[in-house]
Structure 1
């Protein structure tokens, strides 16, 4: 191990734990698909004092989206579908969609395509309270959560069909960027394209070839004790409080779900996600297993920014200053805009429950930071880790 790298990472994480920003974390750093750092800090469960281990399991939420993107690229590369295909070819309720235009519903001026789903330019929202479209999505997610423990939970196909039928778009397709449930609809499309459930599709195409034995949409009973507790910051009392499942239609992960969320549903571990991230760093090739998932030209398309200037206006999150977006990845365009020493071209994503990863393809550097604190992926700890790692490895 790089002694200075170890010292920096240890100092940053111990400070974060001392300041009670996180109870614990797992961190992996790689270059040229070789492990440079792999360790765990703190506790996985504050209430029981269970120590964080490197094989801990994490709800990775939106770090599921890059997996969905790779699966889509694989099916596209195999000639099974086109990125220009209208979504309604696979999910019929997306034909003749309506758009929420200041509370008035008007016809969409074109079909949503698979590429729109990958770029978050579809107009499909996440739940919120600001528009009719977001409120309709919120009502549907409430129903999903209410039906989780019934005999008729919402499954992947019903999810997509109902979004197509009941939830108007935020804007005309392709005109803007807005973060939403596009990847969940894409998961349903991939099921139709491949004619198999999404969990089987990911297992056959990605997890098994890369040796990802801990990644799935649920946790078998023999692994349940490895799941890290989920926390959120308590704004009233300060400190971290336990955050109960479910959220966005996720279960408590003790049983196989009906809804395989292509946008947020996976559980994974540091070792497992490192296999996936290193495959991305290798431009589609995973050295440890000798497996190529996608060709280099396909990888190049997948990691190339997709948004035009009008679409970029919606990408206004402070933590994404200097970034653009495409194919369910953020892509760094201007390091100076976000005051980072990470080279342009870095890509990756993070999750609501705190996990974060980035890949710098120029030098095949990978950073993975796994925690279970809601919103923690945008914290100062992430920025410090990135700066420390890329400063050491430059």
Structure 2
């Protein structure tokens, strides 16, 4: 019969393994009741992968024990710590999860009974987890896309891969942040959208196993979203168009050009509104009325729908004003009627209108090409008043001339 040997101590007892392992052993006050009659775990076996270690031991079904304590240490943390308490003596397997790849671990076990007596510790076993998943072999960031950056990569060759993790940082930031997780090993692209124009980012891609193990990092991928089209230059607006304002600007040689947008406002207090879309570098705005002014801005829209910036200041244009009113020089009574003569005050008139008032009925004489007229319909003894209007080539009518009276 084995000798029962009980040792009680109020402080922790530390035992050291051989110098070659450099791993220390530490027990808490709860564990210092050593019962040499309790069975020692023999032939502790192990299996491992990247993040898990499986332990197996010989059954102790017939022994007077309650369960087992499992302890773990590593080169980074050489002090053994309790990682699992098994309260079923029929259990002969345990899996330690969430471990680091390419890491050396040490394990040992003890049995215990209902009185919390513990057995001698098992032999320490040494286990190395598998190496970390390598980085994906190929990845590329597609640049110059409108408001987006596309990442593509070659699917990881390791069948344990379940997902990919995308991390991102702006070019002036120091730390990467998780952006997305892409499920399925064969899913090999990600589109980072809703970006601002000409926005630059760096990306790193990791593969992730079913157990959550992260691979080595990919190479840093740098890309920039598409910039806006340039500002339209050379914008000018006419000031002498009859009922119209003509716009002209430098033709764009932007390679992704699609069309122009023309904006206008009739007041400095009102916003610019879209008035036209055109692929030409000129536009004619129909504006009713003489001497009407508007301010204009023009932008470029590219094939992806990106619109370039407008000019910081608008360009003002104006329709042609009214022609100058003629000067009525004379109105004389002759044997044939009342003779009128007038002169121009500018060179725009192409014809004239004469209006007569007085008598029983007013009269209007149109289509007069010369600067004189004979009113053969004037009645004897009736005093008339005459006014002359100039008409230009755009059919704009001047204000009335001075009024002159005459009697036949």
TM-score of the alignment, normalized to the shorter chain, above 0.5: no
Bigger Cα Rg:
2
Q: TM-score, normalised by structure 1?
A: 0.17
Q: Greater helix share, 1 or 2?
A: 1
Q: Greater strand share, 1 or 2?
A: 2
Q: TM-score, normalised by structure 2?
A: 0.16
Larger RCO: 1 or 2 (CA < 8 Å, sep 6+)? 1
